[in-house]
Each structure stands twice: as C-alpha cells, then as structure tokens.
Amino acid sequence: MKVSIKVNGVQYEKDVEPRTLLAYFLREDCGLTGTHVGCDTSSCGCCVVVMDGDRAVKACTMFAAQADGHEILTVEGLAQGGALHPLQQAFWDQHGLQCGYCTPGMLMTSYALLKHKPNPSDGEIREELAGNLCRCTGYNNIVKAVRQAAETLQAAPATK
C-alpha cells in the first residue's frame, strides 16, 4: 500500500506492506537509522518518535500505515542548522548518556514531555521516562539533562 508520511519536514511517499512497522519504515525505507530498535516488543523505549508535534509513540508498536498522512519527528530532526537542540546540548553537558543506544528514545520522549509540561519536577521527569530503559547512566544525569533543557527552552521559548 502507498503511504505518505512527513518525517522531519520531508515528505516520504513509499509503497509498504501493511505489516511494516513504523520503526522499520524509518530505518529501512527512509534511511533514518537514528531511531533505534532495542527490545522490539514495546518494553524499552529506544524507538520512541514524536507524532504530530507532541505525542511520543513507540515506533516498534505502530504500523507505518497508521502514520500515513501524519508528521513524525525523529532524533535526526532535532538539530537545526548544525546547532544541537537544547535537549541534545543538555544530554551532552550533563553526561546524560554513555553508550548512547537509548538516547534517541530518551530525547524524543523528553521532547514530548516538555511540550506538555514545560517545567516538570524531577519526579515528573522520572515518571514520564519510566518507559525508557537505560543500562548505563543510572538515570540521574538524564533527569538533570531534561531539567537543563526545560530551563533553556523556557528562557528562549522561540526554540522548538
């Protein structure tokens, strides 16, 4: 079947099988391998992308067909003009990653979180990231990074 999905501002028109999962559509049909597949069973959160601006979804548990006509933002769409997004900069500054495998999912879940709650408490950040697993950091620096990004984005709300 034909699908037309806008990913990071670029329209992709592709012919896919109905059973094609969004994560594989992004990685294999669009060549956007920033979206990682970890557990492949909706448990780890590595594959999280943002749909229609503010909804974090697990791309391994959604068919590409369901995204037809919608907009998807992946980790590749965060940086603008060579400048890291405040979330990415904060993960760098706060050492919010080590191996980096979970990071795209962490970033995209945090991105949607900050759309809904621009000034979350540490507890709220931990709750919202509860579906994203990290085996390296122990999470503390990830929470600090999301705090930093929240402060940066609030100081400069024009940044997306």
Partner 1 sequence: MIPAAFDYRRAGSADDAFAQLQKLGGDARVLAGGQSLIPAMRFRLARPSVLVDINGVAELDYITMNGALTLGAIARDSAVERASWIGERGWSLIHDVSRVVADPVVRQMGTVVGSLCHNDPSGDWPAVALAARAEMVVRGKDGQRTVPIDQFLVDSFTTAVQEGEMALAVRFPAPDDRTAGSYQKVERKVGDYATAAAAVQVSLNADGTVRGAGIALSSAGPCAVRVTDAEALLKGQTPTADLIRAAGEAAAKQSDPQADLRGSVEYKKNLAGVLVSRGLRQALARLGVQS
Query: Which residues lie near partner 1 (CB under 8 A)?
Result: 1, 17-19, 21, 24, 40-43, 45, 48, 55-58, 61-63, 65-66, 68, 109, 112, 116, 127-132
DSSP structure class, residue 33: T
Residue 95 vs 117, nearer CB to partner 1:
117
Residue 34 vs 131, nearer CB to partner 1:
131
CA dist 108 and 100 (Å) reads 13
Q: Which two tokens stand for residue 96?
A: 């919010």
CB of 158 to partner 1, least distance (A): 25
Q: Which two tokens stand for residue 145?
A: 């990074």
CB of 109 to partner 1, least distance (A): 6
Nearest-CA neighbor of 41 among 65, 27, 26, 59?
59
CA dist 18 and 160 (Å) reads 32
Residue 5 vs 21, nearer CB to partner 1:
21
Q: Which two tokens stand for residue 23?
A: 């994560």
Residue 39 vs 83, nearer CB to partner 1:
39
